[in-house]
Amino acid sequence: MPRGPYFEAGKYRARIVAQGFGESTEKKTPYFFLTIVPLAQVVGEEGQEYPAIAEYERTITRYLTDKTLDWVLDDLESLGFEGTKFADLDPDREGYHDFRGMEIFALCEHEENTDTDKTYERWSLFREMKSMVHAPLPATRLQKLDALFGREMKDRARMRATSNPPLATEPAGAEPPAAEPPAAEPPAGITPEEIAAESDKDDIPF
């Protein structure tokens, strides 16, 4: 079987073919897993489907810790699980909640391992992105923010004004300065030497 990444990153329709529990090799962290077979890649807002390039099995692994518990329970509820014990999901137990045969939407992401310099697939249940709801901030809270941080904002404004002084501009309606008159040209037919000679005569005292 080809080693990942084999599937393109994105959303897939997949079928669950197995489930169970296990634990990590090093830290012995318990996890619940679903084995899936991608059937089609789902593209675009309209959900156009394209057949998967191959029906290779992939695994969705959810580690069970205090930090991940809420996420795991959300995933299980999205699959229709309403039990009160993880033991109800154990395939070795008679009458367990069986997910096999269900078709779900799964998400394939690519992750780089800097130690091995390889890229791997990471599979999870697909979750629709929810728009964030912004609660309006009362005007009184804005006033308190200005009271707390207004001085810092004013200091920054003064620093900007100091480092970037405004360029000097002419007052509105001012006329431009008069241009310097052009230097007088000597009369036609008189050479510069003759002009210099006449100037020397004027400097002789009487």
- C-alpha distances out from residue 14 to 37, 44, 47, 60, 78, Å: 5, 17, 14, 11, 15
CATH number 2.40.50 given to 10-125: yes
The one-digit pLDDT tens for each residue of the chain (206 residues) are 445 588 999 999 999 999 999 999 999 999 999 999 999 999 998 889 999 988 899 999 999 999 999 999 999 999 999 999 999 999 999 999 999 999 999 999 999 888 888 899 999 999 865 555 677 878 888 888 888 887 888 888 888 888 876 666 666 566 666 666 655 555 555 555 655 555 555 454 44
Q: Where are the domains of the chain?
A: 10-125
Q: Are 11 and 4 in contact (CB under 8 A)?
A: no
Which residue, 116, 96, 100, 110, is CA-closest to 57?
Answer: 100
Cα torsion 97, 102, 104, 107 to 10°: value is 70
